[in-house]
Amino acid sequence: MSKLKGKVAVVTGGSRDIGRAISIKLAKEGAKVVVNYHNSESGAKETVDEIKSFGGEAIAVKADVSKLNDIKNLKAKAVEAFGDKIDILVNNAGGLFARKTLQELDESFYNLVMDVNFKSTVFVMQAFEPLMGKGSSIINLSSQAARDGGGGGSSLYGSSKGAVSTFTKAMAKELGPKGIRVNALCPGLIGTKFHDDFTTDEVRTKVAAGTPLRREGQAKEVADLVAYLASDEASFLTGNNVDINGGLAFS
């Protein structure tokens, strides 16, 4: 039985990698999905087409979720397509953009990283929370970098994800009385384009070898955990930052 049947989900950064896997998994569990994207229109279309191929319902909506006007448009499109009740919100949009040392940082890069990773989470939640009621679920994508500071040159990324983790706990307290659960995931090394772009093969091999399970994770495994947290099966879980890293690091 589909555990999310009849629910409506919004997934930011839903066009590729972990976001795409999440969008497809939620749809397979019965949810109607709003697939947000910024630059990857073709990826968003592929995601929506795949969902429709197995009888699911989905739309793609372009929005830069670091900008409040775009968030407003995303909300309007979601309501227009699926009504004014949102059951699941997944804040997945984010990025590292470049590895920079302290002396290489500048204000524009600081704003880019913090806006895409943290500001987006704050204001997407602010926009959609009024449409969410008892039994609904918010899942934020943090990172193992929030736990350990991240790899070389990722200080701002790790710090922005640390802010996401802390904000998740704060919102669990604030929204809990309304019956809204708020959790975050802290993925470790997951085999995605993110690491294709920013992590060398040598480092990936070394990290995977040092993981108790001796491998990288898969986007599907993150998506499976998101679907669980979105469902009534996780009805007493809130305020958690859940590690999914093959045992590489513990809370």
CA distance 226 to 190: 15
Residue 206 lies in a domain: no
CA distance 142 to 150: 12
pLDDT tens digits, one per residue of 99-111: 999 999 999 999 9
Residue 205 lies in a domain: no
Q: What is the CATH number of the domain that holds 17?
A: 3.40.50.720
Catalytic site residue 157? yes
pLDDT > 90? residue 193: no
Residue 1 lies in a domain: no
Domain assignment of residue 15, given as a range: 8-190+219-244
What pLDDT is recorded for position 200? 82
Residue 103 lies in a domain: yes
- Helices 120-128, 68-82: inter-axial angle, 10-degree rounding: 40
Residue 148 lies in a domain: yes
Beta bridge partners of 140: 91, 184
pLDDT tens digits, one per residue of 1-42: 589 999 999 999 999 999 999 999 999 999 999 999 999 999
Query: Around Cβ 156, how many Cβ atoms within 10 Å?
Result: 22
Which of the residues 37, 110, 157, 228 is marked catalytic? Answer: 157
* Structural domains counted in the chain: 1
- Predicted confidence band at 212 (pLDDT cuts at 50, 70, 90)? confident
pTM as predicted: 0.94
CA distance 138 to 129: 9
